[in-house]
Amino acid sequence: MKRFLAIAFASATVALGTTTAYAGSLVYQPVNPTFGGSPDNGAYLLSTANAVNKHQAPATDSSLTGSSPLSEFNQELEQAILSRLATSITSSIVGTNGTLQPGTISTGQFTVQVQQVGNGMLQVTTTDTTTGQTTTFQVSQ
């Protein structure tokens, strides 16, 4: 019986010893150095992000159009000259009372023809003399 008690005591001691556990608190440690992680992780995280990044930076306006500042200036200059030309033509085809006068006006590159089409309507046809391309619209007289 002593032997039985000794074995039971030893078994109980082992069983109690193995069931005792110590718990510690869990503490979150960030990986990214931006949020408090180790600075040694920075290079690895950046290279991994660059490797999987499929996006490209958007192109700037001049690279989209393929134009340089000089060509942009020339386009603006051309628009200004065409605007003055349109003003000159308008003053030539508009009478003193503010109405359009039928007739034809020619410039170096354009021909503007104003003609009556009936029912108080005028048709204005602009022709590019270098390409032959025309545009037409109608207005009331």
pLDDT along the chain (141 residues), means of 10: 58 57 83 88 89 80 67 88 80 76 82 86 89 89 70
Q: What is the pLDDT of residue 107?
A: 78
Q: What is the pLDDT of residue 13?
A: 60
Angle at 69 between CA 59 and CA 131, to 5 degrees: 95
- Would you say residue 108 lies in a domain? yes
- Would you say residue 53 lies in a domain? no
Q: What is the pLDDT of residue 134?
A: 92
Question: What is the residue range of 82's domain?
Answer: 71-93+100-141
- Would you say residue 51 lies in a domain? no
Q: What is the pLDDT of residue 83?
A: 85
| pTM, two decimal places | 0.41
- Would you say residue 89 lies in a domain? yes
Counting the structural domains of the chain, the total is: 1
Phi-psi region of 22 (alpha: psi -120 to 50; beta: other; left: phi over 0): beta
- Would you say residue 11 lies in a domain? no
- Would you say residue 132 lies in a domain? yes
Contact status, residue 122 vs residue 115, Cβ threshold 8 Å? yes
- Would you say residue 47 lies in a domain? no
- Would you say residue 20 lies in a domain? no
